[in-house]
Structure 1
Amino acid sequence: MNDADVSKQIQQMVRFILQEAEEKANEIHVSAEEEFNIEKLRLVEAEKKKIRQEYERKDKQVQIRKKIEYSMQLNASRIKVLQAQDDLVNSMKEAASKELLQVSRDHHLYKRLLKDLIVQCLLRLKEPAVLLRCRKDDLFLVESILCSAKEEYAEKANVLQPEIIIDSVHLPPAPTHHNAHGPYCSGGVVVASRDGKIVCENTLDARLDVAFQKKLPQIRKQLFGVVAA
């Protein structure tokens, strides 16, 4: 084999080696490209998942805050409604309290009422001796009907007439503009056993409180359509 043939063979071998190297390089490039795309896709999906999770977490926080805010506003509205209802009910009671003051101004009617209130107390206590307390302004009226009250009680209870001692301490006077926030009494009496262990409060204000509390569910139902718990 001459030099030309050897050179030709060498060139063929070189081309073959180069071609094989290029093919191998292409394979490596394609494989690397595929791995890159797979890894890129994995990273992108992982990042998308992370973003979705973060969005869901923040959205959940927003929804929770909205629910809390809604609940707070709802509670505040309910409190305002209840307060308005209480104000209306209390204004009715205040109006009724003012009407009570008219009762004691009709002396004939009030005198008969005082007698009935005293008899009620005696029937409730059923004591042989009691202590009676009234307003200073009512002292004359109370003294004038005391005997008839004792007689009526004795007849109804079928007992001897009780001893009734009028207390030297009086109930507070009727409310006035000058004493709007102090203790007051619109009328009536308080009767107690001699030892003070049993007390029957039969003032007009006490009776109004009892009647008002008893009728309160009915009042609320008529005014607001619901019965308060």
Structure 2
Amino acid sequence: MNDADVSKQIQQMVRFIRQEAEEKANEISVSAEEEFNIEKLQLVEAEKRKIRQEYERKEKQVDVRKKIEYSMQLNASRLKVLQAQDDLVNLMKDTAGKELLRIADEKKAYGRLLKDLIVQSLLRLKEPSVLLRCREADRALVESVLEEAKKEYAEKTKVHVPKITVDQRVYLPPAPSRNDAHGLHCSGGVVLASQDGKIVCENTLDARLDVVFRQKLPEIRKRLFGKVEA
């Protein structure tokens, strides 16, 4: 083999090696580009997920805030309605309280009522000796019906006539005045207590109104507002 043939073979080998190198370089370049595109796609998708999650989080926050605001507005409206209902009910009670004052104006009827209240209190206490308190303005009327009340109690219970002491030092508050309608007052009636003060029966007109009003409150609300509050 002469020099020309050797040179030709060497050139062929060089071309072959160069071609393989170029092909390998192309493969590496294509592979690198594919990996880059895959990684870029993964990064883009990851960022998209983050953005979606952040959007969903903020959307939930807005939704929760709207629900809270709606609930607060609803509660405020309910409170206003309940307050208006309470105001109306209290107005009815105040009106009924003013009507109580007229009872004491009818002396004969009021005297019978005082007697009945005393008998009822005695039946509750079942004490042989009691202390009675009334308004100072009612003292004479109370004393005028005491004997009848004691006899009626004794007949109903088949016991001895009880001893009733009218407290002449401490009286129940007077009727409310126009200048102080919300001050301490009493519309009438009596308070009886055992001599040791441990058992007390408050049988004033105001106390009876409170009891009746509490008992009838569901019915009153139903008549006024169409349903009974839970």
* TM-score of the aligned structures, taking structure 2 as reference length: 0.88
**Partner in structure 2 of residue 60 of structure 1:** 60
3-state SS, counterpart of residue 177 of structure 2: coil
**Partner in structure 1 of residue 198 of structure 2:** 197
The one-letter code matched in structure 1 to 2:203 is N
In the TM superposition, residue 18 of structure 1 has moved relative to its aligned partner by 4.7
**Partner in structure 2 of residue 47 of structure 1:** 47
**Partner in structure 1 of residue 222 of structure 2:** 221
Rounded to whole Å, the distance in 1 between the matches of 2:50 and 2:129 is 88
**Partner in structure 1 of residue 123 of structure 2:** 123
In the TM superposition, residue 209 of structure 1 has moved relative to its aligned partner by 0.6
**Partner in structure 2 of residue 207 of structure 1:** 208
The one-letter code matched in structure 2 to 1:181 is H
Q: Which moved more, 1:91-100 or 1:66-75?
A: 66-75
3-state SS, counterpart of residue 56 of structure 2: helix
Rounded to whole Å, the distance in 2 between the matches of 1:192 and 1:220 is 35
Q: Which moved more, 1:25-34 or 1:7-16?
A: 7-16
In the TM superposition, residue 2 of structure 1 has moved relative to its aligned partner by 8.1
Rounded to whole Å, the distance in 2 between the matches of 1:91 and 1:181 is 13
In the TM superposition, residue 13 of structure 1 has moved relative to its aligned partner by 5.6
**Partner in structure 2 of residue 82 of structure 1:** 82
3-state SS, counterpart of residue 115 of structure 1: helix
1:156-195 equivalences in 2 (<5 Å) = 156-168=156-168, 169-195=170-196
Q: Which moved more, 1:26-35 or 1:36-45?
A: 26-35
Q: Deviations over 1:48-79 (max 9, x none)?
A: 12222222222232233233333333332222
Rounded to whole Å, the distance in 1 between the matches of 2:64 and 2:10 is 79
3-state SS, counterpart of residue 164 of structure 2: strand
Q: Which moved more, 1:188-197 or 1:151-160?
A: 151-160
**For the aligned residues, what is the CA RMSD?**
2.2
Alignment gaps of 5+ in structure 2: none
**Partner in structure 2 of residue 113 of structure 1:** 113
3-state SS, counterpart of residue 83 of structure 1: helix
Q: Which moved more, 1:2-11 or 1:99-108?
A: 2-11
Q: Deviations over 1:120-150 (max 9, x none)?
A: 1122222222111111111121122222222
**Partner in structure 2 of residue 136 of structure 1:** 136
Rounded to whole Å, the distance in 2 between the matches of 1:114 and 1:138 is 9
In the TM superposition, residue 95 of structure 1 has moved relative to its aligned partner by 0.9
Rounded to whole Å, the distance in 2 between the matches of 1:201 and 1:148 is 20
The one-letter code matched in structure 1 to 2:191 is V
Q: Does 1:30 align with 2:58?
A: no
Rounded to whole Å, the distance in 1 between the matches of 2:14 and 2:192 is 133
- Percent identical residues: 76
Aligned pairs, how many?
Answer: 229
Rounded to whole Å, the distance in 1 between the matches of 2:185 and 2:92 is 18
3-state SS, counterpart of residue 202 of structure 1: strand
The one-letter code matched in structure 1 to 2:98 is K
In the TM superposition, residue 199 of structure 1 has moved relative to its aligned partner by 1.2
3-state SS, counterpart of residue 132 of structure 1: strand
Rounded to whole Å, the distance in 1 between the matches of 2:91 and 2:176 is 16
Q: Deviations over 1:155-184 (max 9, x none)?
A: 222222222111011100001122223210
Rounded to whole Å, the distance in 2 between the matches of 1:45 and 1:148 is 99
